[in-house]
A = this chain, B = another copy of it.
Amino acid sequence: MRAVRLTRNYTKHAEGSVLIEFGDTKVICTASLSDKVPGFLKGKGQGWLTAEYGMLPRSTNTRMDREAARGKQSGRTQEIQRLIGRSLRAAFDLEAFGERTLHLDCDVIQADGGTRTAAITGAMVAAYDAFSTLVDSKVIAAMPLKNFVAAISVGVVQGSPVLDLDYLEDSGCDTDMNVVMTDAGHFIEVQGTAEGVAFDRSALNSLLDLAQNGIGQLIAMQREVLGLAA
């Protein structure tokens, strides 16, 4: 696994704001609380959590078009932000923070593989910080936590399983898998794709073992940076 760094309070306005680095991949994750919920939840007494994802046009090796200028988000962007949202909704109890929405914004400043898994892992800490402001100001009685969640990518590169692929490894790999897990070692999401050759059950098992190990380390780092017991 590449060097991981989590920097809390990275920007000053958001209720939670984290810079997460997986090697050269850098993602700013902010968590913003609002007092509104989407229409389908109005009056139900529960909250919502949603995520958006973006990349700066030159966060990548060659410049990409700016999605705001093109007038739409790519399918890839939407796929990723839906994944981040689902993963974090599995981490918090939506019924325990009132009719509020937590908006998670994950913006990639520099990309070198693994931006979606970095985003999930960083957003967990930003969301925790945002909910802490509600606990600290006694708006809610306790942290609405179900599980810590973190995510990592794994892949088969030239026949061998590799943890936390960088861009070069990712481009050349046969199988690419993103795994989201809880601190109890259970799965939230498993998304494996055969890029070139289809993979068999034993390859799948090796990758999941690798992922489980990596996610354990990531959750330990999340807890440490938040000052929580291991």
Binding site for B on A (CB under 8 A): 11-14, 17, 24, 26, 28, 30, 32, 34, 52, 54, 56-63, 66-69, 71-73, 75-79, 81-82, 86, 90, 103, 105, 107, 109-111, 147, 177, 181-182, 184-194, 197-201, 204, 208
Q: Give A137 Cβ to nearest chain B Cβ, in Å.
A: 17
**Which residues of the partner chain B approach A52 to less than 8 Å between Cβ atoms?**
57, 66, 69
Partner of A24, one of B12, B68, B182, B189: B12
A103 (CB) vs chain B CBs: closest residue: B63
Q: Are A32 and B11 in contact (CB under 8 A)?
A: no
Given contacts A63-B103, A185-B200, 17 further A-B contacts (CB under 8 A): A11-B56, A11-B109, A12-B110, A13-B62, A13-B111, A52-B57, A54-B56, A63-B105, A66-B68, A66-B105, A75-B82, A86-B193, A90-B194, A109-B109, A186-B199, A187-B198, A191-B192
Partner of A13, one of B66, B78, B110: B110
